[in-house]
Chains A and B, each alone.
Chain A
Amino acid sequence: MNESIEPGSALPRTPAGPVVSLRGVSKRFGGVRALVDVDVDVHEHEVLAVVGDNGAGKSTLAGVLAGAHRPDSGQVLVDGAPVVLDSPAAARALGIATVFQELALVNDLDVVENLFLGHEVGRGGFLDEVEMERRAWQVLDQLAASVPSVRDPVRTLSGGQRQVIAVARALLGSPRVVVLDEPTASLGVRQTAQVLNLITRLRARGHAVVLVSHQAGDLQAVADRILVLRLGRVHGTYTGETSYEDLLAAMTGAVRPSPGRR
């Protein structure tokens, strides 16, 4: 029943060590230094949260992992070996699936078409619509998604519904690393709970999860480590138990939280 999200057996155990690492990654957009010399390790069985102010470079970091941005310098390693993530398809092929902040859904396509876009299920050279629709219902059921019809264009869905579709799409095909850029930003309480629940389940199965989030609740619920980005630089890595006030201080640069807050 759960095959579409979770593999029948846990992922094969690879020698301990990060699944994905960034080494000295920098990225500029014109004059803006979106990422500066960033080192990140993403481990299996771990939820790495990424926090930071608006414009801190979180989405750029997610984009590098997703293959949407090529770093100007630095290396991306998968299982310790350098790789080139030059397209989202390449990242996906290496087992890295991403929910983008802007969702990247094609408005004119329907829900099923969007869920399987780029990795459709075929049958003798043709699309297997029946199988895709069946799996679509399955994954949406698991996310407790409330979607009127999987054959309506996603244009007709609400922001939250679209976000669930984007999350569902990243989970199909059981990737090793799931990158989620603000996946709960416009979700209701129940859908947020489902997504967080799912993240915990992914972790239990051995997947690595990178979670970009502003929601203190998300971080408390699932984060194992929290990476703070400030103006494109890594400003420390904190444990999941770190209080939100301390994180805020790190994000805004007031490294020492005021004593009154302690």
Chain B
Amino acid sequence: MNADGMRGGGRTLAAVDPAPEPPRVGPGAVLRQWFHGEHGVAPIVVGLVLVWVVLAAIAPDFLSAENLVNLTLQSVPVGVIALGVVLVLLVGQIDLSVGSVSGLAAAIVAVGTVTAGWPFALGVLVALACGMAVGLVYGVLSTRLGLPSFVITLAGLLFFAGVQLRVLGPLGSINLPFESWFVRAVQQGFLDPRVAWVLVAVWVLAYLGTQIWARERRRRAELSCVPWSQVVLRTGALALVLSATVGYLSTARGVGYSVVLFVVLVIIADVALRRTRWGRSVRAVGSDRRAALLSGVAVHRTVVSCFVACTTLAALGGILAAGRLGAANQGTGGADTYLTAIAAAVIGGTSLFGGRGSAWSALLGVLVIQSVANGLTLLDLDQATRFMVTGAVLLGAIIVDMLVRRRRQEA
């Protein structure tokens, strides 16, 4: 598809050596790119479909619209936390304390609004600000003192679990007023189907528009352009997935407000990671910190920003979890929350070794994990089975990640 004189994919630069490489945009190449490309999400999509097929076969209720609505709602709190984890993993760090921080945020909201009588919005703001402050401390400890984030956040995990208990006080559990707007929005807020369809249309058109616009600019700059067929194909795929989701979920309760919030956060993170200087710095620092520094990237600022984003999202996840439960208790954000969030990020295709991954891996990864949890609950299987199956899925995902890495290094 590289017309003569067009530059890009296959053009060899040296004027004396014009040997044209085969264009890299055929359907096979597109598939290969999906699987092995920088933002390859195809393996996890295939994995998700596999999980669904298996679960549907053994638990026929799994694919019912009502259950899928539940699945989406269940996925949101951990998904928001996993999105933060994706950011710290990308920059080459880790945060083990996301569970404790989310639990603390939930406790702050509950105590502030119920016990101290703050307006709800104030409670949320205070909790988010606390999350932010925690990330700032981590970032400064990590960049100024050079402490490994594994250790810093392990200490944070214990410390903030303690703070959470102290904030909750002797009762250990505080119910949020059922009639508060926040609890209603999280538990019973669903998009009007018409609004949902409008949003789908806006999204698809915006996607198509940016692609056409980018293509036109590239054409004018005489750079290689993706073929129209691919533009159509991609847009069609997006439209299909979105319409199927909205159409099917709307036969039950529909798309929850919290789900919309989560997806919007993922989109913002994705655009920030791929289309801004900050995002480029994050990937550069994550894949080669020293080279990034020598190139003039503000490494410290980038690392701190990721810690702050992560803990803030963790706090938001905790607040959403409290809203969903209608209460904050000692268990909020406890037990396996942080493991689930990290596992979701990794299953979704974000590398534990930094530099590689995408915001979408939070959404896809959490869907896999919650599907397993949800399906096994439908089958009346216990927590034990759930943990074991999730562990196996995580192992599989890491093996795939390793294999992809090795292939790329050999490439």
Residues of A within 8 A of B (CB): 66, 68, 87-89, 92, 98, 100, 103-109, 113-114, 117-120, 122, 125-127, 129-131, 133-134, 137, 140-141, 144-151, 153, 155-156, 169
Cβ of B277 and Cβ of A134 under 8 Å apart? Answer: no
Report the minimum CB–CB distance from B344 to chain A (whole Å): 22
**B interface, size bucket:** 35 or more
Cβ of B218 and Cβ of A130 under 8 Å apart? Answer: yes
Main SS of the interface on chain B? loop
Residues of B within 8 A of A (CB): 7-15, 17, 21, 24, 38, 214, 217-218, 221-223, 275-277, 280-281, 283-284, 287-288, 290-298, 355-356, 408-409, 411
Cβ of B284 and Cβ of A146 under 8 Å apart? Answer: no
- Provide a sorted-by-A list of 24 A–B residue pairs whose CB atoms are within 8 angstroms: A68-B293, A103-B291, A104-B294, A104-B295, A105-B291, A106-B284, A106-B287, A106-B292, A108-B287, A108-B355, A108-B356, A109-B284, A113-B280, A117-B295, A118-B281, A131-B221, A133-B7, A134-B221, A137-B7, A137-B223, A144-B14, A149-B8, A149-B10, A150-B8
Report the minimum CB–CB distance from B241 to chain A (whole Å): 25
Cβ of A106 and Cβ of B291 under 8 Å apart? Answer: yes
Which residue of chain A lies nearest to B287 when distances are taken between CB atoms in the complex? A108
Which residue of chain A lies nearest to B222 when distances are taken between CB atoms in the complex? A134
Question: What is the bound-complex CA distance between A60 and B10, given in angstroms?
Answer: 39
Cβ of B13 and Cβ of A109 under 8 Å apart? Answer: no
Cβ of A125 and Cβ of B296 under 8 Å apart? Answer: no
With contact pairs A145-B14, A147-B13, A156-B411 given, residues A133 and B290 touching in the complex (Cβ less than 8 Å): no
Question: What is the bound-complex CA distance between A200 and B338, given in angstroms?
Answer: 58
Cβ of B13 and Cβ of A126 under 8 Å apart? Answer: no
With contact pairs A66-B294, A104-B295 given, residues A122 and B14 touching in the complex (Cβ less than 8 Å): no
Report the minimum CB–CB distance from A233 to chain B (whole Å): 26
Q: Which of A118, A133, A156 contacts B223 (CB 8 A)?
A: A133
Which residue of chain A lies nearest to B275 when distances are taken between CB atoms in the complex? A126
Report the minimum CB–CB distance from A60 to chain B (whole Å): 14
Interface centre among B277, B293, B297 (most CB of A within 10 A): B277
Interface centre among B8, B217, B223, B291 (most CB of A within 10 A): B291
Report the minimum CB–CB distance from B267 to chain A (whole Å): 14
Chain A residues within 8 Å of B223, by CB: 130, 133-134, 137
Cβ of A107 and Cβ of B287 under 8 Å apart? Answer: yes
Question: What is the bound-complex CA distance between A104 and B293, given in angstroms?
Answer: 9
Question: What is the bound-complex CA distance between A129 and B224, given in angstroms?
Answer: 12
Chain B residues within 8 Å of A103, by CB: 291
Question: What is the bound-complex CA distance between A130 and B223, given in angstroms?
Answer: 8
Report the minimum CB–CB distance from B292 to chain A (whole Å): 6
Chain B residues within 8 Å of A147, by CB: 13
Question: What is the bound-complex CA distance between A113 and B281, given in angstroms?
Answer: 10
Chain A residues within 8 Å of B17, by CB: 146
Cβ of A117 and Cβ of B10 under 8 Å apart? Answer: no
Which residue of chain B lies nearest to A93 when distances are taken between CB atoms in the complex? B296
Total A-B contacts with CB atoms under 8 angstroms apart: 116
Chain B residues within 8 Å of A119, by CB: 296
Chain A residues within 8 Å of B408, by CB: 153, 155
Which residue of chain A lies nearest to B292 when distances are taken between CB atoms in the complex? A106
Cβ of A117 and Cβ of B13 under 8 Å apart? Answer: no
Question: What is the bound-complex CA distance between A109 and B411, given in angstroms?
Answer: 14
Cβ of A107 and Cβ of B297 under 8 Å apart? Answer: no
Chain B residues within 8 Å of A146, by CB: 12-14, 17
Which residue of chain B lies nearest to A105 when distances are taken between CB atoms in the complex? B291
Which residue of chain A lies nearest to B217 when distances are taken between CB atoms in the complex? A130
Chain B residues within 8 Å of A140, by CB: 13
Chain B residues within 8 Å of A145, by CB: 13-14
Chain A residues within 8 Å of B281, by CB: 118
Chain B residues within 8 Å of A66, by CB: 294
Report the minimum CB–CB distance from B154 to chain A (whole Å): 27
Question: What is the bound-complex CA distance between A68 and B293, given in angstroms?
Answer: 8
Chain B residues within 8 Å of A153, by CB: 38, 408
Question: What is the bound-complex CA distance between A149 and B29, given in angstroms?
Answer: 15
Chain B residues within 8 Å of A156, by CB: 411
Question: What is the bound-complex CA distance between A68 and B291, given in angstroms?
Answer: 11
Which residue of chain A lies nearest to B293 when distances are taken between CB atoms in the complex? A88
Cβ of B13 and Cβ of A137 under 8 Å apart? Answer: yes
Cβ of A117 and Cβ of B284 under 8 Å apart? Answer: yes
Report the minimum CB–CB distance from A69 to chain B (whole Å): 11
Cβ of B10 and Cβ of A126 under 8 Å apart? Answer: no
Cβ of B295 and Cβ of A130 under 8 Å apart? Answer: no
Chain A residues within 8 Å of B221, by CB: 130-131, 133-134
With contact pairs A146-B13, A148-B12 given, residues A130 and B296 touching in the complex (Cβ less than 8 Å): no
Question: What is the bound-complex CA distance between A92 and B298, given in angstroms?
Answer: 12
List 10 tightest A-B contacts by C-beta distance, closest first: A118-B296, A104-B294, A108-B287, A89-B296, A146-B14, A117-B295, A104-B291, A118-B295, A106-B288, A130-B217
Chain A residues within 8 Å of B283, by CB: 106, 108-109
Report the minimum CB–CB distance from B95 to chain A (whole Å): 22
Other CB < 8 Å A-B pairs besides A88-B293, A146-B12, 10 of them? A88-B295, A106-B295, A108-B288, A127-B280, A130-B214, A130-B218, A137-B7, A141-B13, A144-B13, A147-B13
Chain B residues within 8 Å of A89, by CB: 296-298
Chain A residues within 8 Å of B290, by CB: 104
Question: What is the bound-complex CA distance between A144 and B13, given in angstroms?
Answer: 7
Question: What is the bound-complex CA distance between A141 and B7, given in angstroms?
Answer: 12
With contact pairs A126-B275, A133-B221 given, residues A109 and B10 touching in the complex (Cβ less than 8 Å): no
Question: What is the bound-complex CA distance between A144 and B290, given in angstroms?
Answer: 28
Question: What is the bound-complex CA distance between A55 and B335, given in angstroms?
Answer: 54
Chain A residues within 8 Å of B280, by CB: 109, 113, 117, 120, 127
Question: What is the bound-complex CA distance between A131 and B214, given in angstroms?
Answer: 11
